[in-house]
Structure 1
Amino acid sequence: MDYLEEQKQEIEILQSIYPDELEIVSETSFRVSLLLDTNTERKHTLILNVRYPETYPEVVPQLRLEKTSDDVPEESLNVEESVELDKDDLLDLEESLNSNALENVGMPSVFTLTSLLKDEAETLFQEKVAAKEKMVEQERQAREYEEQKKFAGTKLTKENFAQWRAKFRAEMGIDTRLAERFKLVHQGRLTGKEIFEKGLAEEAEDL
């Protein structure tokens, strides 16, 4: 087998498939940038660095992964925008690539490996999004539970009811409106009929 010729042919094929994504580093090494489909504003790219050993494809290629991600958008409320692949994820992906490379020894395999990498990375990303969403929801439920505990079992007394009533009336502006209407009543600006129609007589008695 003419190893060098096999390697050159594979690079030519890869260049036709990845015209913008493939960067030649040397005669025996190159890198392929893979933009992941993540349905996010942030762009996440995996970079597969490949180096051919002298006797490739009779042996596995040397593979190394890098990644780049855009910054998190300011004031973004979407959970998926905070998710990205970390070092452990890259190690897991590399392990999977090397395992599949072993299965393909004897034939050019880089295109197969890049396709596999993209699929597995996108699946892993979505799994991390789902896990993050679940965690956020659990945290929200925990906060709600803690808030409910503050009121659970609280004995209703005249004092705490009065406090609640005063706070509620202040928030709704009830006392202010009643005071204004009371003033109109006692200054004689409204007739008895008008007082009745506006329901002020009863409200005035509440002051």
Structure 2
Amino acid sequence: MPKEDQAEEIEVLQSIYPDELTLIDETKYRIHLALDPPQILGQPEEDPKALLLHVSYPEAYPDVAPDLDITFDEDSTSTALLSLPEDKPALLAALTETIEENLGMAMVFTITSMLKESAENLMHERATKKDQEREATLRQEEEKEMEKFRGELVTKERFIEWRKKFMEEREAAKKKAVEDEEAEGKRGQKKNPTAEEKKLTGKELWERGLAGNVDDDEEEEGIDIAKLKLEK
């Protein structure tokens, strides 16, 4: 009876998967399962993937579980979303409950549907995680940029400290301004002597050869240049 059940199931599967099922012998075959990979934001689009479900009937099937194996087809390779053989144990484990619930009945179609769903769910979960990680990274970068434009939080203690420093700097600036002004005044006095400092004695005028160049103001003041004599 199991042989007849097995042959009947293969016939049904061939009608469901006319192009996807490859019969190896009367108890072995493989089914090609095309997967729909999700798109990860900011990443190149994933190439279409396909799994091969390898099925082998034990003599007592369907009263016992079929022997199963999972591989990629020849055009598919491992990526961040799905990797074989690394993900094979998890994919096979996801079929355990389905197999146990269907013992005694033809179950390969149900197993095939569950495998496709599990593989695509796994890829979607990883894609979602990648998107979340990318968004978290972008938020961190935005926070770093925003920190550049945020001022330091003002507290009473910080204000008092700032005011003290400000007053000290202002007093220092005032003191320096006064010192600079005084220094400038002294330099101006040296460059511009007073009228008294400019006035020379008759002897100084004679010695410097200025006797003939005295202006009218000095004559009005009663200085008679002609009467000046050298002091001995």
TM over 0.5: yes
Write 1 or 2 for the structure with the bigger share of helix: 1
What residue identity is the alignment partner of 1:121? Answer: A
- For 1:12, what is the secondary structure of its paired residue? helix
Aligned partner of 1:107 in structure 2 is: 105
Provide the rounded CA distance (Å) in 2 between the counterparts of 1:6 and 1:117: 22
**Structure 2: gaps (5+ residues):** 40-44, 153-232
Provide the rounded CA distance (Å) in 2 between the counterparts of 1:71 and 1:112: 25
1:59 Cα deviation from its structure 2 partner? 0.6
Match of 2:89 among 80, 88, 91: 91
1:153 Cα deviation from its structure 2 partner? 5.2
1:49 Cα deviation from its structure 2 partner? 0.8
Aligned partner of 1:50 in structure 2 is: 55
Provide the rounded CA distance (Å) in 1 between the counterparts of 2:24 and 2:9: 15
| Contact in 2 for aligned 1:44/1:84 (Cα 8 Å) | no
1:39 Cα deviation from its structure 2 partner? 5.1
Provide the rounded CA distance (Å) in 2 between the counterparts of 1:50 and 1:71: 21
Q: Deviations over 1:76-123 (max 9, x none)?
A: xxxxxx642124433212012133112211111001111111122222
Q: Deviations over 1:1-58 (max 9, x none)?
A: x111111111111111011111112221111111012355510112111110011111
**Structure 1: gaps (5+ residues):** 73-81, 155-207
Segment drifting more, 143-152 vs 106-115: 143-152
Please provide the CA RMSD for this pair.
Answer: 2.4
Provide the rounded CA distance (Å) in 2 between the counterparts of 1:100 and 1:120: 12
Aligned partner of 1:63 in structure 2 is: 68
Q: Deviations over 1:119-172 (max 9, x none)?
A: 222222222211110011111222233344456559xxxxxxxxxxxxxxxxxx
Identity rate, percent: 40
Larger C-alpha radius of gyration, 1 or 2? 2
Provide the rounded CA distance (Å) in 1 between the counterparts of 2:109 and 2:10: 10
Aligned partner of 2:10 in structure 1 is: 11
| Contact in 2 for aligned 1:100/1:113 (Cα 8 Å) | yes
Runs of 4+ in 1 over 6 A off after TM superposition: none
Provide the rounded CA distance (Å) in 1 between the counterparts of 2:80 and 2:125: 10
| Contact in 2 for aligned 1:63/1:98 (Cα 8 Å) | no
Aligned partner of 2:22 in structure 1 is: 23
**CA, structure 1 residues 85+71, in 2 after alignment: closer, same or farther (shift >3 Å)?**
closer
What residue identity is the alignment partner of 2:64? Answer: V
Provide the rounded CA distance (Å) in 1 between the counterparts of 2:87 and 2:115: 12
Segment drifting more, 120-129 vs 26-35: 120-129
TM-score (norm 2): 0.55
- For 2:135, what is the secondary structure of its paired residue? helix
| Contact in 2 for aligned 1:60/1:98 (Cα 8 Å) | no
Question: Counterparts of 1:55-204 in structure 2 under 5 Å?
Answer: 55-68=60-73, 70=76, 83-87=80-84, 88-149=86-147, 152=150
Provide the rounded CA distance (Å) in 1 between the counterparts of 2:134 and 2:122: 18
What residue identity is the alignment partner of 1:90? Answer: K
